Structure formats: structure tokens, C-alpha cells
Amino acid sequence: MTPQRSASHALGKDVLLVDRFDRTPGTGLRHAIVSALTILELDEMLGRYASYADLAQIVRERFTRPRPTLHELFARITFNVLVGNTDDHARNHAAFWDGRMLSLAPAYDICPQGRAGGEATQAMQIGPEGFNRSQLDGRIRAAPTYHLSLEEARAIVDHQIDVIRNTWREVCEQASMTQAERRLFAGRAVFNPYAFYGYLPAAPQL
């Protein structure tokens, strides 16, 4: 699901307008939605214990279409690593609730985090062993948790790498990013070399 969105300029600032996915277009009616923090039965103080492995277990038990949902969850995990979004805490994942079953809501609040160095960690643990380094190799090894073979997991990641690389210039132009801003993100947040240790010999170039 791709929301309607547009860029605007108001009071000297750039503004991104995005349709809310928890509303019915044209009516303003709300859809019942719960965060992963709620689904995992954690409060704010315990949010650091949230893990994708625990969320995946609940997907298997309580979500509609669990298998494709697990694949989508894995793809979001690896995309966060590729673009440098380390703010993937449990309140930044959500599901619709129909009174009986859950279904994964669209991805939101994806914000590449610029960093000067390489090492970084994700906000949520990736696998049952507690791994949370922002590296693709550890994500691939956790593929069975998401009902994926290692080959299927690699295919998802390789496709994401190709899409990001092939659309990078277009996205930067749509966002009216300056050359300085592009340099700030390319190779630092997006495609940071640290993400590729153990997966590729070198980070792809944007």
C-alpha cells in the first residue's frame, strides 16, 4: 500500500503531506490499530526488550496471512538496515485489529539516521539470540524465524539493494536534496559499509 503524498512549502519550511493509513479516505473514519509495543504486552519502560523474534511468533499465532506477513516483516527489517533507520522501536510497527485477528499495517516513520562512524544497532532485537547489530549478515541467518530459506532471504535483500541503488537519484530529486545533503546520507546512513560486513565484500555505490 502506497499512501497519497505530496511535498509542499509553508512558512519557510519544507512539508511532507501523507494520507493517514488509519483513516478511511473521504470519511475520516478510524481503523482500530495497535502498536507492536502493545501486541508484545510491554510498557514504555520495557520497550528495550521488544524483539522481532517475539513479534514473529505472534504473527504466526494471531495474524491473518501469517506467512506473507512474516516475509514482509523480514523485508522491513533488512530495509531499515540498508537505509540506516535505527529508530525501529516497537512503537514504530503496528497492526490493524478487526476484533478477532491482526493484520500488519503499512510501514511508517522510516527515518535514516546519519552517523559519522560505522557501528550501529537497531532498536529491536532481531533473533532469539538477541542480535541487534545493524548488519545484513545477522539478519540473513535469522531467516528461518520468518519462514524463509537463506536463499529467499538473500533474494529479498539483493532486490532491495538494486531498487535503492536504481532509484536513489530520482528520490533525491523528488526530495529536492542538495549535493551536500546527498553526500550526508549516501554511504553514511544509506548503504553504510558496516551493514555489509559478512554479506558483501564492499558496500554498493550510490
Q: List, run by run, the mean pLDDT of 10-residue segments along the chain (206 residues).
A: 72 82 79 94 88 96 97 97 95 95 94 84 78 90 95 98 96 90 92 95 93
Strand order in the sheet with 102-104: 33-35, 94-97, 102-104
* 103 falls within a domain: yes
pLDDT at residue 202 in the model: 92
Q: Which amino acid makes up residue 178?
A: T
* 203 falls within a domain: no
Give the chain's domain count.
Answer: 1
3, 21, 25, 107, 133 from 6: Cα distances, Å: 10, 15, 16, 17, 34
**Based on the number of CB atoms within 10 Å of its own CB, is 113 exposed (0-12), middle (13-18) or buried (19 or more)?**
middle
* 62 falls within a domain: yes
CA distance from start to end of the chain: 26
Q: Are 149 and 142 within 8 A, CB to CB?
A: no
Query: pTM value?
Result: 0.91
* 164 falls within a domain: yes
* 36 falls within a domain: yes
* 81 falls within a domain: yes
Residue 47 domain boundaries: 5-196
